[in-house]
Amino acid sequence: MTAVTTKRGQLTCWVRCLLGAATLAWAANSSALELRSGYQVISEAESKTLPWTTGGIVPGNKPGWYYSTNMVPFLGYGQVGTVLVSAAPLATGECVNMFPMASYDGYRGYEIAAGILVIPFGTMTGKMVLTAGTMNPSTNGGTFTPNANPGLNVTSSASWDKFGTGSGDLSTRSDCFGVGTTYTVANAVVEMNTDGGTQAVIGYGVYVKPGTAKMPTKTVYLQAARGYRWNATPSTFDVRTFALTWSGMDCTLSTDASIPFGDITPADVGTPGGISVASTLDMNCSNPSGNAIPVSYSVVPKTQAGDHYSVPLMSETQNGTVNGDVRGFLGATASADAGCVDKGSSMPMDGTKTSLRTVTTGTSWSDPLVWVLCPSAAAAPGPAKATVTLDLNW
């Protein structure tokens, strides 16, 4: 311990009520995913390459290219890529046969039922290479002749946040998510094998408007594709299939957002039981479905990870110095168990989901919650902090 006699320690607990991160199977899930009120991620962003194909029709003297007399709108619609949500698998990347687009409460996405939006988020980027000219005849096997009009060699990119707000080279269509490319020449050929295709890092969230009527189980298909209309090969798609249901289940929690441990002195090091601060975890759940739905919690470190049952309290003045470990104890035996060793009421601090209750109707409860700081003899003087997120899962 240093000669400085006081240290300050604090645990900041960011409280959220989220379903939690889940990347589900590519095939349809055997059981429905129960949605919750508000926003949740149902599939984390995944990196994919969405390749071009040679297309169904190409000029005979330009293999691997596709000719069109109406290039401008198709490029603007989303030739680089589209992200679609539909009730059935789609054969192409064209913006048809999708759920309608809707916006409310600051969120924009595909409306799978009144009050429920599926919202793609992430980034798509791809290059477009075009040569202006005409083909005669403009059918299979014609001869393409370039002209003096400007061609194109450009990379287009668009991003969408978890509210569904887009930025960058957005599609000119308002009914779907896509990457648009600006071009001014109608007659041209577009290369169908440009640098391997489009790079996409796309995930999906769901927003349920509070008070929304319940939705029976519904299967939705989430698809990202390279190309608009012409790229019709199913293997070019990143397809994720989910069975979703909304029973009206909703839970909220209340607990202290900041836990001050106060000034720590050398005499506190090795104190049996550490330095404890009592709190409570107050829960309120509604479940109009009447189905038995288990509710669990998980604690995720936001500063530096520790072990299964603790997170390090990090010095704010000396990078990398651990001033102690913070533990949490939850439930009826929390006060008796609280200390610097693992007990039955110890809270996992590494994201492990831990059961709270099974909810079948509206119910509220309050559980004792005790946070404990176990100071380190090698602590640095000055303030120290640990930050965690406490998530609800159901």
Residue intervals of the chain classified under CATH 2.60.40.1090 are 7-18+250-393
pLDDT at site 229 = 63
What residue has token string 């303030």? 383
pLDDT tens digits for 169-195? 999 999 999 999 999 999 998 887 778
pLDDT at site 382 = 86
Confidence of residue 57 (pLDDT cuts 50, 70, 90): low
What residue has token string 């006699």? 5
Residues 345/329, Cβ–Cβ less than 8 Å: yes
What lies within 8 Å, CB to CB, of 52 at 6+ separation is 191, 192, 193, 194, 196, 197, 226, 227, 231, 236
**CA atoms 371, 375, 376, 382: torsion sign:** positive
User: Which of the listed ranges 54-63, 65-74, 207-216, 272-281 does the model predict with the highest average pLDDT?
Assistant: 272-281
pLDDT at site 192 = 78
pLDDT tens digits for 302-314? 888 889 999 999 8
> In angstroms, rounded to a whole number, what is the distance separating the alpha carbons of residues 250 and 126?
40
- Give the mean model confidence (pLDDT) for residues 326-342: 95
Tell me the two tokens of residue 381: 């003087």
CATH code of domain 7-18+250-393? 2.60.40.1090
From residue 215, give the alpha-carbon distance in Å to each of 4, 7, 205: 61, 53, 17
Burial class (CB in 10 A: 0-12, 13-18, 19+), 95: buried
pLDDT tens digits for 219-277? 999 999 887 766 556 667 799 999 999 988 788 889 998 999 888 888 788 778 899 99
Residues 198/65, Cβ–Cβ less than 8 Å: no
pLDDT tens digits for 128-169? 999 999 988 877 668 899 999 999 999 999 999 999 999 999
> Is it the case that residue 56 has pLDDT exceeding 70?
no
* Beta-bridge partners for 252: 284
Tell me the two tokens of residue 8: 């300050």
* b/e per residue 53-66 (b: at least 16 CB within 10 A): bebeebbeebeebb
pLDDT at site 364 = 93
